[in-house]
């Protein structure tokens, strides 16, 4: 996981993790993976993670995307014609 976090960072990205259990947290900490990933990129729930990550996205890229997968996208840019609010 640490290597993947480094690889993503080299390309300007980041690794985010959600819903990890204590045993996995302990292992990630023990082997230094949390240092590479960053504790601020570990979330206990999907909705919290999406809100936090969405704030970091390049909105000029989002504006050109027609998928509108997340409700944050739909709220900011409108939903696609075939898509009810909050639905992918």
Torsion (CA) 56, 61, 65, 71 in degrees, nearest 10: 20
CA distance 34 to 10: 17
CA distance 31 to 66: 40
24-67 per-position pLDDT tens digit = 999 999 999 999 999 999 999 999 999 999 999 999 999 898 88
CA distance 87 to 79: 9
pTM of the model as a whole: 0.74
């Amino acid at each position: 996981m640490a290597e993947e976090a480094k690889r993503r960072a080299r390309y300007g990205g980041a690794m985010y993790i959600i819903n990890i259990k204590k045993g996995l947290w302990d292992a990630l900490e023990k082997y230094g993976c949390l240092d590479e990933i960053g504790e601020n990129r570990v979330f206990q729930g999907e909705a919290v993670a999406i809100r936090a990550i969405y704030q970091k996205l390049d909105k000029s890229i989002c504006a050109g995307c027609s998928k509108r997968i997340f409700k944050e996208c739909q709220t900011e840019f409108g939903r696609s014609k075939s898509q009810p609010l909050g639905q992918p």
